[in-house]
Structure 1
Amino acid sequence: MRKITIFDTTLRDGEQSPGCSMHITEKLEIAMALERMRVDVIEAGFAVTSQGDFEAVSKIAAQVKESTVCSLARAVTKDIDMAYEALKQAQSPRIHTFLATSPIHMEYKLKMSPEKVLQTIGDMVRYAKTKISDIEFSAEDASRSERDFLVKAVATAIEAGATVINIPDTVGYATPMEMFDLITYLRNHVHGIENVTLSVHCHDDLGLAVANSLAAVRAGADQIECAVNGLGERAGNAALEEVVMGIQTRKDFYQCMTGIDTTRISTTSKLVYNTLGLPIPINKAIVGANAFAHEAGIHQHGVLANRKTYEIMTPQSIGLLQNQMVFGKHSGRHAIEKRLNEMGYELDKAELDDLMERFKQLADRKRSINDSDLEALVTKQTMYIENGYRLDRFTVNCGNYITSNAVVRLKDGEKLVEAVAIGDGPIDAAYKAIDMLIEAPPHILDDYSIFSVTEGNDALGEVIVRIKSGDKTVTGRGLSTDIIESSIIAYINGLNRLL
């Protein structure tokens, strides 16, 4: 059966979503999760855009062993050189270069003639080929390009040595039928296209990214570019979990398969949402809380009789466990490690030591700890920036007849710093005290949200803050059974990302 290559762009296109910037340690953790899920190609970033992106691509290239690691590059020598330098340590590197081919892009953005575009494609693919053997060329805005010219552009890239040809629906303009026809047309008219991997990259502006990607596969595309949870520019990309489970569930129709370990979909999806401080929409296909929920009586009756009456896939197929485990202060390390492994989490000794310490602290506050609590403790490890400020202790005084005030003490390495402030409520007072202690760039609190992670009066509460500083937006997360403590931790973590 034909195997479809899954090319994940969460760390590049996904990070271009407003407010979805990630720290280098977070990018590395997500890259390792993608590798464990057996993603074929990981687009680690756009190396030339910043020193941070270059370092992220370099570190991911050095760490990832099983997946191809890719860097995006415009069709200019400087970009290609930077991509090559960043990918030097990769076991399987790929340079992904692109140039627009639609009339509107060539005239208004590139200000280049069609002849110049073809020449640049040939020159830059050939140049990239002198650096790395695996070269992907993307014809940006391919779905709005004139077909005869697109054929010439693709043929030029193949003649210059491209190993992968990507056909993007850059602005999410195409329909599934149009995407099917476009891929069919290229396969019938481009000489040598049978010798390269034919790829698609679909955006979701009209809500058709997944449908367009699957239509392209039906027409003969070999690779789908997608992102976990559908993250990406504007309305996002095709969602990896939807594309993969679409193929998995309808192998009979698509007559193909992927190499993805689908049992890791749930944990990887949660990792990405938690890293970005985004709630999972309850009706999100595949990974939303309602994906396997049934409320209508007739549905419940059918599912109880036979789950296949209303479920076309099983919760276990994406890594959800049906049996719930409950832990307490007397639970042992081995039992907790075993449960985490069953849930799809692999921790080294140092990470497990840290988690067990926080597990004991939580067990002193909560009578029972369930899977959601354990998952929250695991993801909490990604909240902190190395060498950043940490909360040491705090005190707040508030009421409806006094002015709220807060005393906050932070750890700055080995040094302790403390401040007192008043404010419009305990959280505002605490945030003002923190602003006195952390010398961050000028910023404003753009958004503040509270979520209950687990159930009950002693539930873990998660606070997510968005902080804006100029054009940059960062996210901070905090987790505690005390919502004020969660709020303080979230704000500290957000400011650490601005430093």
Structure 2
Amino acid sequence: MYFYGSRSYGDFFNMGEYSRIGYETDRKKINIFDTTLRDGEQTPGVSFNMEQKYTIAKMLYDAGVDIIEAGFPAVSDEELKTIKRINYDMDNICSLARCNKNDIDKVIESDSKIIHLFIATSDIHMKYKLNKTRDQVFESITNSIDYARSHGLTIIFSPEDATRTDMDFLKHIISSIKVETVNFPDTIGIMNPMSMYYFINKIKEFTTTNISIHCHNDFGLATANTLAGLMAGANEAQLTINGIGERAGNASLEEVVSSIYGFLDSHTNIRMEKLYEISKYVTAASGIIPQKNKAIIGENAFSHEAGIHVHGIINNPKTYEAINPEVFGINRRIVIGKHSGKAAIKYILENKGIHKTDDEIDNILKIIKNRDNKTIDDEFLLEVIRNE
């Protein structure tokens, strides 16, 4: 595994004096756990083949992701074979398993050194999904952890549906087990930032084990909830590229990592300049196209059209950009449309080596504003100039 240490991205974030109020930074390292290949692949209609899974894993590995969840080996022989191949070249691979011997044996067979054990612990899941009592679930947990430990596996344990689990039962489980990390999934995305902060603070009262969080986006709060959990003391986040995942998806890796640097003044091992490239590959492999206005990696994330905004950006990008797109290897775009002003036209033309008088630019702008299409591409702009 490559370790990049504490990267300094401070110059890329244009934060105000109030941005970090309410959070006392200790400049800690946050671990990044990527589950694009497991929970991300559970997006309806998404299925990565072996080559795609290997390529994504290698890209994540090279980008500095601490732990990569490569899949669920008990799902199929093909899944197991794929994970085994990934493990051959990478040493930070994790595999998912339910709390039963067969699943654990499949993880061992896949050559993964890290196992992510999970079982539902909320009353509604235990009754309607598992048909088990609390005692039976607890017994499955302890037996599975003992069995995985006896085979030398590093253990991450998740009480599924943790945020709807009775706190006394959760305390009983967490206080009774010895694992490297306990992950707390907000399985159906019911938390808000304040409740997540309270929840993680409560967990810290009865464990010193590493705390990870796994947030779903059913209310559009996955990134905010992840950030709140980290602020409360969790030191690992489970994320996916582009935020893909079941239903409304998971917390987005690129959003959370950006927020860690922007708001927490903490650091990760992530090479942020690699994220846009990975996002593009996952988009192509999954067929799930991020919305244009999605933070960080959306087509419009660093695009500017309104005349006042463009004028500010040209003079100083910090006027209308909280993040410098260069940190992700992205170029900002000046878009020409009905909201554009003279500054945008002049800027684009001069970047193409074309110089026009103010009167000529006024004429060009009039033609553009009278056009039905909402945006103007460079080809049409050049055609207008030729006609002029």
Dislocated runs of 4+, deviation >6 Å? 454-457
Q: How does 1:28-67 map to 2 (within 5 A)?
A: 28-65=54-91
Match of 2:259 in 1: 246
Partner of 1:225: 238
Letter in 1 for 2:120: A
Go from structure 1 to structure 2 and tell me whether the alpha carbon gap of 1:321 and 1:260 turns closer, same or farther (over 3 Å shift).
same
Matched, 1:12 2:31: no
Report deviation, 1:133.
Answer: 3.6
* Alignment check: 8 A CA contact 2:189 2:222 kept: yes
Alpha-carbon RMSD across the aligned residues, in angstroms, is: 1.7
Amino acid at match of 1:167: F
Q: Deviations over 1:118-162 (max 9, x none)?
A: 12111111111112341010000000111111111112233xxx1
For residue 98 of structure 1, the aligned residue among 83, 108, 118 is 118
CA displacement, residues 185-213 of structure 1 (integer Å, 9 cap, x when unaligned): 0101x2xx22x221000011111111110
2:103 is matched with which residue? 79
2:326 aligns with one of 284, 295, 316? 316
Match for 2:45: what amino acid? G
The 3-state SS of whatever aligns with 2:97 is strand
Q: Are the equivalent residues in 2 in contact too, given 1:121–1:156 (CA < 8 A)?
A: no
User: Is there any run of 5+ residues in structure 2 with no aligned partner, and where?
Assistant: 1-26, 334-376, 381-388
Q: Secondary structure at the match of 2:204?
A: helix
What is the rounded CA distance, in whole Å, between the counterparts of 2:332 and 2:139 in structure 1? 57
1:321 positional shift:
4.7
Residue 257 of structure 1 aligns to a residue in which SS?
Answer: coil
What does the per-residue CA deviation read over 1:272-317, in whole Å, with 9 as the maximum and x for residues that have no partner? 0011223342111101111111111221122122111111111110
Q: Judge conservation of contact 1:172–1:205 (CA < 8 Å) in 2.
A: yes
For 1:178 and 1:315, the matched residues in 2 are separated by 32
Unaligned stretches of 5+ residues in structure 1: 324-453, 458-499
Larger RCO of the pair (alpha carbons < 8 Å, separation 6+): 2
| Corresponding residue pairs, total | 311
Q: Does 1:288 align with 2:301?
A: no
What per-residue deviation string (whole Å, max 9, x for no partner) do you get for residues 3-52 of structure 1? Answer: 11100000000001011101011100000000111100000000001111
In structure 1, the partner of 2:181 is 164
Match of 1:272 in 2: 282
Aligned counterparts of 1:228 and 1:157: Cα–Cα separation in 2: 31
Alignment of 1:65-464 (within 5 A): 65=91, 68-87=92-111, 93-158=113-178, 162-188=179-205, 190=206, 193-194=207-208, 196-250=209-263, 254-321=264-331
CA distance in 1 between counterparts of 2:332 and 2:244 reads 28
What SS does the aligned partner of 2:304 have?
A: coil
Structure 2 Cα separation of the partners of residues 110 and 280 of structure 1: 35
- In the alignment, the residues of structure 1 paired with residue 379 and residue 51 of structure 2 have an alpha-carbon distance, to the nearest angstrom, of 33
Q: Which amino acid aligns with 1:129?
A: R
Distance across 1 between alignment mates of 2:232 and 2:288: 35
Confirm or deny: 8 A CA contact 1:137 1:157 kept in the other structure: no
Q: Secondary structure at the match of 2:139?
A: helix
CA distance in 1 between partners of 2:305 and 2:169 (Å) = 53
Distance 1:173 1:130 in 2: 36
Give the residue type in structure 2 aligned to 1:150.
Answer: L
Cα distance change of structure 1 residues 322 and 238 upon mapping to structure 2, 3 Å threshold: closer
Quote how far apart the aligned CAs of 1:261 are: 0.2
Amino acid at match of 1:293: S
Secondary structure, in 3 states, of the residue corresponding to 1:317?
Answer: helix
Q: Distance in 1 between matches of 2:277 and 2:60?
A: 11
Query: What SS does structure 2 have at the residue aligned with 1:25?
Result: helix
Deviations 1:349-407 (A, max 9, x none): xxxxxxxxxxxxxxxxxxxxxxxxxxxxxxxxxxxxxxxxxxxxxxxxxxxxxxxxxxx
Partners in 2 of 1:284 and 1:139 — Cα distance?
30
Change (3 A) 1:71 1:290: same
Deviates more, 1:50-59 or 1:215-224: 50-59
Answer whether contact 1:226 1:240 (CA < 8 A) is retained. yes
Deviation of the 1:255 alpha carbon: 3.9
Counterparts of 1:278 and 1:146, CA distance in 2: 36
In 1, are the aligned partners of 2:69 and 2:96 still within 8 Å (CA)?
A: yes
Q: CA deviation at 1:111?
A: 1.1
Q: Distance in 2 between matches of 1:322 and 1:121?
A: 50
Displacement of 1:225: 0.1
State the alpha-carbon separation in 2 of the partners of residues 456 and 296 from structure 1: 20
Q: Quick one: distance in 2 between partners of 1:292 and 1:322?
A: 5
Matched, 1:27 2:37: no
Relative to the length of structure 2, the TM-score reads: 0.77
Q: Distance in 2 between matches of 1:201 and 1:455?
A: 43
Contact 2:302/2:331 (<8 A) preserved = no
**1:216-237, Cα deviation, whole Å (9 max, x unpaired):** 0000001000000001111111
The residue that corresponds to 1:399 in the other structure is none
- Structure-2 separation of matches of 1:284 and 1:322: 15
SS in 2 for 1:256: coil
